[in-house]
Structure 1
Amino acid sequence: MAAALQALPTVEVPSTRSPVDKSYRRMLHGMERFAREHALAPQATLRFRLLPRQPGMSMDGIRLKVVGDTGSKTVPIAADHSFTLERDETLWREDAAVLANRKTLSMTWRAEVRSPGVPEGMRRLGDLRLECLVGMEAGLVSNNAHLFAWLDEFLRSPERVCSDPNGNYMFFTERPVFAISLQHGERRATLPFHAMYAGNPPAEEMPYCDCQVLLEHSYHAPIWDASWPDDTLLSFDYADAPPAASAAAPQDRAAALAALGPPQTRLRFDSGREVWLYQSAPPTSLPPGPDGRPRMGEHVLLFSPAGATLKTRQRAP
């Protein structure tokens, strides 16, 4: 028995109390889903990407391996913390794990689908639709089971999550975001506030959210809304872009409070910036929006850490 054990190959995995791991088989299933659904983004390429999830998480020096029963394979990671996987039949049969030298819940994983020719600072809706399908198929969303224990496999399915207004698959921008606009031809729209910032989850749920340190970067795209074609473009007004508040806007938090009263929603980010939401009912009754929610007018203000007004925006019901 001792001789048999000595004959087994040694697989070195970086020491960590709770390693981050994903199923190699499921990630390859995600790649297969990408190939099957390529019509959503015919010219796009697929990569997987690692993102921080907990405060203080360093993305430098991450090492990634596919580890099976009898061997392992190192996975190169690009400077933007993205990578691809190659199919290895032995590792597939052994139901290998994709391991990183980081602890559980310290990172989140996403598929990244990018079509060529999309202008800088914009995303294509068909790419995002395919990202959701691949990400769900690959089992990348790393929300803690404590929060989603009630979900059955039907509700976890790519079709259910990616085609339902309440699926809430989360996307992340490269920079902190203040507003997101949709455009296709002459049609224009601004995403409602509830589609931003992970829907403003309660503080007690934040440890279970992929957005824990990326709240100011997070949004839900209307991938479920078939009235927006795949070639629809999303453009981003970033929170750290030059200020664009109008001269008529309140100059700071105190002025906003005096002029407008307490906001319905007040959200403070790790950056120190703060966003306030004021909602107003339409003057006449309107049918619910395409997501089934009541139509509400929005007035949103962004404040600097010192309290100065940086940006404002309004959205009609």
Structure 2
Amino acid sequence: MKFPLLSLAFVVLSASAQPVVEVSTARDPELKAYATMARGLDAFDASRAQAPQGTLRFLLRPATREDSLEGLELKIVGDTVTLPVRLDPDGGFTLPRSPAALADNAALVLNKKKHSFRWRPDVRSPGVPADARRLGDLRVQCAVQWAIDQADLAPAARGALAAGGGPCRSMTMHMGFDAPAPLRAAWLQDGARREAIPVSRHYRRVFNPPLADRSWSDDTLVRFEYAR
């Protein structure tokens, strides 16, 4: 998957516009800094009340059909620090806490060419059905994404988004999330209450839950109806 005109590019995280983990066989100043990614870990810890049993991973996805997870390696690389990061078969990884990497101004480095892989955070609580997402998990996932992405925004853009409550707390901004497969429809279910939510007309896997609407509890489920 890489918001108003100013915010459109940030808030709607579609499959074609996910943030990019740059790629190199050596340290490159254009790579996502470890300190920036660690802000996502801080945001996850600060938001844990919304997903008390949730876990945070980051997912790597090929940017094109020509790219593959096969042979992919990820490291945290600094001037004196090199830490291998274990990748799961689905391209997921858990980012470790490392004071040494912070002190060394380290970066995340892949062994593939630049722009060939994209990343996104993924927050999951146990017991959620395969055809659903928990709204509290999505709220925390958004907080992680925003904590990382705002570091790359110009001060004016960052200030404008923050003034509106940020993409995770504003009623006028809508964060997009990827479903496992193209959707026919998606809806919220909280006990007996049920309501349809928007699905992108251009990227049928992308749905837009009302993260800022606190009338929907964190335990609300986003249910999917997949396209046939």
Task: Report the TM-score, using the length of structure 1 for normalisation.
Answer: 0.58
Q: Which runs of 4+ in 1 moved over 6 A?
A: none
Give the percent of matched residue pairs that are identical in Structure 1 and Structure 2.
Answer: 37
Aligned to 1:161: 167
- The Cα shift of 1:82 comes to 0.6
Q: 2:41 aligns with which of 31, 47, 52?
A: 31
- 1:223 pairs, out of 195, 202, 211, with 211
Return the letter of the residue paired with 2:180: E
**Alignment gaps of 5+ in structure 1:** 1-12, 201-214, 241-317
Q: 1:59 to 1:100 in 2, by over 3 A?
A: same
| Aligned position for 1:108 | 118
Q: 1:14 aligns with which of 25, 32, 44?
A: 25
Q: How many angstroms does 1:59 deviate by?
A: 2.9
Amino acid at match of 1:188: R
In structure 2, C-alpha distance between the alignment counterparts of 1:83 and 1:48, rounded to whole Å: 5
Aligned equivalent of 2:183, options 168, 171, 177? 177
- Partners of 2:111 and 2:208 lie apart in 1 by 29
Question: Where do 5+ consecutive residues of structure 2 fail to align?
Answer: 1-23
CA offset at residue 71 of structure 1?
A: 2.6
CA distance in 2: counterparts of 1:74 and 1:140, whole angstroms? 26
Residue type of the alignment partner of 1:125: L
Computing the radius of gyration over CA atoms, which structure comes out larger, 1 or 2? Answer: 1
Q: Give, in whole Å, the separation in 2 of the partners of 1:111 and 1:181.
A: 22
- The counterpart of 1:46, out of the listed 44, 56, 65, is 56
| SS of aligned partner of 1:73 | strand
Closer/same/farther in 2, CA of residues 150 and 139 from structure 1, 3 Å limit: closer
Secondary structure (helix, strand or coil) at the match of 1:216 reads coil
Higher RCO structure (Cα 8 Å, ≥6 apart): 2
**1:43-102: per-residue Cα shift (whole Å, max 9, x none)?**
111111112333433233221111111231111100111101222222111221111233
**Is it true that 1:77 corresponds to 2:87 in the alignment?**
yes
What is the aligned residue count? Answer: 204
Deviations 1:131-154 (A, max 9, x none): 00011112399xxx8xx7696222
1:237 aligns with 2:225: yes
Shift of 1:106: 3.1
Whole-angstrom CA distance in 2 between matches of 1:166 and 1:103: 37
